Homo-oligomer: A and B are copies of this chain.
Amino acid sequence: MSDEFDRIARLRARFNDGAGPGVLLGIGDDAAVLAASGDNLVLSVDTSVQGVHFERAFAPLPVIAARAFSAALSDLAAMAALPRAALCSLIMPAQLTEAEFDAVIEGLADASARYACPIVGGNLSAGRELSITTSVVGLVEGCGLQRSGARLGDRVCVTGSLGGAALGLQLLQRSAAGRAPGWAERWQNPQARIAEAQALRGIATAAIDVSDGALQDLGHLCEASGLGAELFAEALPLEPGFRELARELGLDPLALALHGGEDYELLYTVPRDAPSIGPGTCIGRMTPAAGAPSVLGADGRPLPLAGGGFKHFPG
């Protein structure tokens, strides 16, 4: 394995030394320097760990790395912030080859370019398993779009569709991605909804990204807003073929859509009388009842649901 400083040199070249708008000093010193502006700064961090968030067999390394980057940026999207810069901290096992290292930084560089979010620094460390920690800084007016702003009667909306990433992951875990082309990509290539979030400015009252499962994430939004919520099962946006493939795999499509994580869509609320609900689909409404959100069937009655959502440390 080559020297740490050789790796840093390749990384600097591939990340263009962290150059970008407002970047006064990018990669190469003890820290990076960004120009501040009239907007407020938004900070977040996300980690993707081999054996926990991904397996090497699930995607090529550039895809794994870009996915980790997107997941971190999704938190900025959920605040309606615009990405400004990222720091990437890699822990790498001794057996990771130079080609594999280059593949990781290739994926990070691609994602950085796609989101126009320069990688201005980071850290390389040895360790037993590969992990990618992405810290992101964004700019926002005020405090952006918080989890706590939902009001009684607000519509609950979601961008894109639900459960696709979880279905793709099921295929990958069964080494059956080829069986239904297109679904594995739903897990592999999430998109942080940066532009969609900008379109929600002045419309949405609250937002969260769907990382741990729509129902669990909606629960966080409810808790922060001091309200409850009802979802309409029939209204959940599902891709064509989703129900059929889920059943073929012996899975409950509704559970997958409600509990499947890592879609990285935006779950948000808009006032009932808003002229537009923005780029998403209306799937429910905010209610007075605090506690876990309920899901109503076609007959308007609550459906019995098993618990779900991703937990790192099950109780």
Q: How large is the interface on A (under 10, 10 to 19, 20 to 34, 35 or more residues)?
A: 35 or more
Instruction: Kindly list chain B residues whose C-beta atoms are within 8 Å of the C-beta of A312.
Output: 4, 124-126
Q: Which residues of B contact A29 (CB under 8 A)?
A: 78-79, 146-148, 224
In the complex, what's the smallest C-beta–C-beta distance from A138 to chain B, in angstroms? 7
Contact call B7/A313, Cβ cutoff below 8 A: yes
Whether the pair B49, A127 counts as a contact (CB closer than 8 A) is yes
Select which of B43, B131, B142, B146 is within 8 A of A121 by beta carbon: B43
Q: Specify the chain B residue showing the minimal Cβ separation from A137.
A: B43
Is A280 in the interface zone, CB < 8 Å from B?
A: no
- Counting chain B CB atoms within 10 Å of each CB, which of A45, A47, A75, A131 scores highest? A45
Sampled A-B contacts (10; CB under 8 Å): A3-B314, A29-B146, A35-B40, A36-B39, A43-B120, A44-B87, A45-B135, A52-B125, A124-B313, A128-B129
Chain A residues proximal to chain B, CB less than 8 Å: 1-7, 24-25, 28-47, 49, 51-53, 74-76, 78-79, 81, 85, 87, 89, 91-92, 94, 120-129, 131, 133, 135-140, 142-144, 146-148, 207-209, 224, 311-315
